[in-house]
Amino acid sequence: MKKLSAQIALILLVFTLIIPAFVIAQSPNGGLPNRRARGTAQTAAVQRDFDEALKLVQEQYIDGKKLNYNDVFKSSIIGMLRSLDPHSNYYDREEFDELKTDQRSEYFGIGASIQNYAHGDQADTYITATFEGSPAGRAGLRYGDRIVEVDGVKMTGKSSLEVRDKIRGPRGSTVKLTLERAADKRIEKVDIVRDAVPQPSIPDAYMLKPGVGYIDMTRGFNYTTTDELLDALDRLHAKGMTSLVLDLRNNPGGFLDQAIHVAEVFLRNGQLILTQKGRNGYRDNQYESHNNAPDTTPLVILINENTASASEIVAGAMQDHDRALIVGQTSFGKGLVQSIIPLEYGAGLTLTSAKYFTPSGRLIQRDYSNGGFYDYYTHGAGVASEPKTPAKPTGPETKTDTGRAVYGGGGISPDESIGPRMVNLTQRRLLSPTFAFTRDLVNGRIHGFETSRIAGGINFRHDLEPDEFKVTDAMFRAFRDFVAADPAYKISAATVDRYRSFIESELRFNIVTAAYGRVMGDRVFIITDDPQVSKAVDVLPKARDLAMSSAEQKIGRQ
């Protein structure tokens, strides 16, 4: 409890010291001592009230003996920060370690993808893939292995996130897994020593078709993002790339300097990337490109409602300079910069310290004054699978380099709006049987397809061929029979026939994932069943013309 009290006091001290420090920077000389005195008095009053409230809780709360003081103090700090904005936050030691892990290009665990699938009313967590060179791969974990227990705790009915948190842990520590092996259904106990697992910013880069490259940058901006991007561009240019689709969908952001350097890869020397403005001039800065030889490949950038922060910096700079055409859905709308502040005892907080503006002067931060925390992060959405009409721009208008109108106050609006691949509730119900069928298929248990058994681990060196693992009529009929034979799925033959195209895509994704890993499995949807990627490829000529117009206008002004 003393440690937690110290954390509270330290938080108050941070605010007591930081806020006057900002004021000193650019305030007139008169009146400063009074303002400091008022701030100190108010802080002391709040601390007295907090101490008194805590004492009353300890003495009179009906379940006082069951109090979790960590939760009490933590909620107090979070409540204080939530009154500022949705992005300032407090993290206890475990959460702060995870935050720092997310910023590295690796994490500590066993290196496996896991997923929940249901059979009737029972939900279990399964291994769907391992990563190259990972502890899980070395321990022989395979696609379809069911996780029965973790360190002696049963996992049936647990969410995959709960199971993941149980499996992760300090580097060098051991996790004890009890598995039902997919190959022969036997129960086996496996001890795995946790180790560093690579977590690259760019898991994949390949040619969508001759001349058109695709770079998957969906995982966030960490220490190695720019280097990974340059390596991917070199590989694609060597394969004859003449235009590029850069995928920033679901990219949550990350390091500001990496966003600047990524934008710099494509922008000419002297072009503004962003302007940062802090409190009373503190942390004010402008960032320009210093690249005398930028990559000039015609570029389309994919975004969606989960494209946030650092990824919006890149998309906004590319749009404002007409360097890329933006395709997809309006981005999240986070225009605030957080400082990461370590606290004593391993805890920490993120504190909003500045706002950033795109080259045309847009503040893309969404308004958070009238809604709750949940509404802010979910955009007030209902069912996730429901398509939403693009919101009309409501913020101030600014102009791109060629004079196109763009707007602030609500994220980055795409130049070409198009929704994602949609999955309805019936299709979601089909995910479990497609996985179960594949689990049997790749282990030689589907009659007539015994030769489809995949022996050994994942082949990470294989490049997926266009016609590889296509689902045949015979395989589809076998799936239909598989579902009909198991009433727990409650899926009719008519439903299976109605959703044949969806089922075939899901089956191929699962088979490719079992054979070549999750990254290669994702290509199945990207190349064959992703309307946003298809749209991006279609508008690449417009992106080329837009970039050429911007360059010509730049030359004309010189």
Question: Taking Cα atoms as reference points, which of 393, 453, 411, 447 lies closest to residue 326?
Answer: 411
Q: Are 335 and 356 in contact (CB under 8 A)?
A: yes
Among residues 320, 415, 522, 530, the one annotated as catalytic is: 320
- pTM, rounded to two decimals: 0.85
Distance CA 520, CA 511 (A): 10
Pairing of strands 348-357, 272-278: antiparallel
Secondary structure of residue 498 in the 3-state scheme: helix
Side-chain-side CA neighbours of 540 within 13 Å: the count stands at 20
User: 271: which residues sit within 8 A by CB, 6+ positions away?
Assistant: 288, 289, 317, 321, 359
Show the tokens assigned to 419.
């929704």
Distance CA 239, CA 236 (A): 5
What is the Cα gyration radius of the chain? Answer: 26
Show the tokens assigned to 449.
């397809």
The letter for the amino acid at 539 is V
Per-residue pLDDT of the chain (558 residues; tens, 9 = 90+): 444 444 444 444 444 333 333 222 222 333 444 545 556 777 788 778 878 888 888 888 888 777 887 788 788 888 888 888 888 888 888 888 877 766 666 678 899 999 999 999 899 999 999 999 899 999 999 999 999 999 999 999 999 999 999 998 888 999 999 999 999 999 999 999 999 888 899 999 999 999 999 999 999 999 899 999 999 999 999 999 999 999 999 999 988 999 999 999 999 999 999 999 988 787 789 999 999 999 999 999 999 999 999 999 999 999 999 999 999 999 999 999 888 889 888 888 888 889 999 999 999 998 887 767 777 777 654 434 445 555 666 788 999 999 999 999 889 999 999 999 999 999 999 999 999 999 999 999 999 999 999 988 899 999 898 889 999 999 999 999 999 999 999 999 999 999 999 999 999 999 999 999 999 999 999 999 999 999 999 999 999 998 888 777 665 555
User: 551: which residues sit within 8 A by CB, 6+ positions away?
Assistant: none
Among residues 74, 158, 334, 535, the one annotated as catalytic is: 334
Indicate if 355 belongs to the active site: no
User: 56: which residues sit within 8 A by CB, 6+ positions away?
Assistant: none
Show the tokens assigned to 543.
């992106």
b (16+ CB within 10 A) / e for 250-264: bbbbbbbebbbbbbb
Secondary structure of residue 5 in the 3-state scheme: helix
C-alpha torsion angle, residues 189, 191, 196, 199 (rounded to 10): 0
Q: What pLDDT is attached to residue 105?
A: 61
Question: Taking Cα atoms as reference points, which of 483, 402, 471, 481 lies closest to residue 436?
Answer: 483
User: 450: which residues sit within 8 A by CB, 6+ positions away?
Assistant: 444
Distance CA 55, CA 220 (A): 43
Q: What pLDDT is attached to residue 554?
A: 63
Q: Are 413 and 488 in contact (CB under 8 A)?
A: no
Q: Are 196 and 107 in contact (CB under 8 A)?
A: yes
Show the tokens assigned to 106.
């690796």
Q: Are 178 and 189 in contact (CB under 8 A)?
A: yes
Show the tokens assigned to 12.
């108050």
Distance CA 192, CA 167 (A): 10
Q: Are 504 and 476 in contact (CB under 8 A)?
A: yes
Q: What pLDDT is attached to residue 389?
A: 56
Distance CA 58, CA 72 (A): 11
Distance CA 483, CA 492 (A): 8
Question: Taking Cα atoms as reference points, which of 201, 182, 48, 471 lies closest to residue 480?
Answer: 471
C-alpha torsion angle, residues 479, 485, 486, 487 (rounded to 10): 120
User: 111: which residues sit within 8 A by CB, 6+ positions away?
Assistant: 130, 131, 133, 134, 135, 136, 137, 195, 197
Indicate if 549 belongs to the active site: no
From residue 367, give the alpha-carbon distance in Å to each of 81, 304, 395. 17, 18, 10
Q: What pLDDT is attached to residue 23?
A: 25
What is the distance of C-alpha 212 from the center of its chain?
Answer: 25
Indicate if 392 belongs to the active site: no
Distance CA 22, CA 280 (A): 6
DSSP, residue by residue, 159-194: -HHHHHHHH---TT-EEEEEEE-TTT--EEEEEEE-
Secondary structure of residue 80 in the 3-state scheme: helix
Partners of 405 in the β-ladder: 399
Among residues 113, 160, 201, 309, the one annotated as catalytic is: 309
Q: Are 410 and 364 in contact (CB under 8 A)?
A: yes
